[in-house]
Structure 1
Amino acid sequence: MSAIRKEKRNPERLRVVLSPRAKPLLTESASTENVSPHGMRVLTEQFWKRGTELTVQSSKHELLGRGRVVYCQSFSHGTFAIGLELLARTD
């Protein structure tokens, strides 16, 4: 994970639903920790493999898009933070 950011991250909390594009019926409710125009950090309950493409939808439907997992950081209490690169908005 690079310490240099191309864009400023906004510390924004959104409830989102994640689903892998390969298995769209599998979903997880999660929340963002920060958001930028091209990515977000999302707190999750499950491990997501790097490179996995996900559909991301906010609970209030202000965001619908596709993203790719660029990292998955594990925490000692069994939760994870994933970095998502947003590939396309599908509003």
Structure 2
Amino acid sequence: MDGRRVKRSPRAIRVLLSSSAQPVVAEYAATENVSCHGARVRTERPWRPDSRVLIKSSLGDLWARARVVYCQTLKSRAFAVGLEFLAHTGEWTARA
């Protein structure tokens, strides 16, 4: 048991991730897994733990304010960023 409230689903969804403090700091990234409480996102730049970000799903109407829980360095100049949603609206993907 990993202590999560809700199981995360492995899903690759393109998202726009931007800094709440500096809106011009943004990048497109892809999720590795998602839940209704957060996501793990693969990025090209490091994000400071405890910083606040905005995330927007490209497949649905999800918008969220989130806190960076961790930023893990991966191989090939990539980073895995754990996000905890502080507030969100919408769904990861559009409903049929």
| Fold equivalence (TM over 0.5) | yes
Q: Paired residue for 1:21?
A: 20
Q: Paired residue for 1:31?
A: 30
Q: CA deviation at 1:21?
A: 0.4
Percent of aligned pairs with the same residue?
47
The residue type equivalent to 1:67 in the other structure is A
Q: Paired residue for 1:54?
A: 53
Q: Return the alpha-carbon distance in structure 1 between the equivalents of residues 16 and 10 of structure 2.
A: 18
Runs of 4+ in 1 over 4 A off after TM superposition: none
Q: Return the alpha-carbon distance in structure 2 between the equivalents of residues 38 and 6 of structure 1.
A: 8
CA RMSD of aligned residues (A): 1.3
Q: Return the alpha-carbon distance in structure 2 between the equivalents of residues 24 and 63 of structure 1.
A: 18
Aligned pairs (5 A) from 1:70-85: 70-85=69-84
The gaps in structure 1 that reach 5 residues or longer are none
Q: CA deviation at 1:76?
A: 2.6
Q: Return the alpha-carbon distance in structure 2 between the equivalents of residues 71 and 40 of structure 1.
A: 11
Query: So what's the TM-score if we normalise by structure 1?
Result: 0.90
Report Cα offsets for 1:20-68 as digits up to 9, x if no partner: 0001122110000000110100000000010110000112342111000
Q: How many residues align structurally? A: 89
Q: Return the alpha-carbon distance in structure 2 between the equivalents of residues 21 and 47 of structure 1.
A: 15
The SS at the match of 1:8 is: coil
Q: Return the alpha-carbon distance in structure 1 between the equivalents of residues 65 and 89 of structure 2.
A: 7
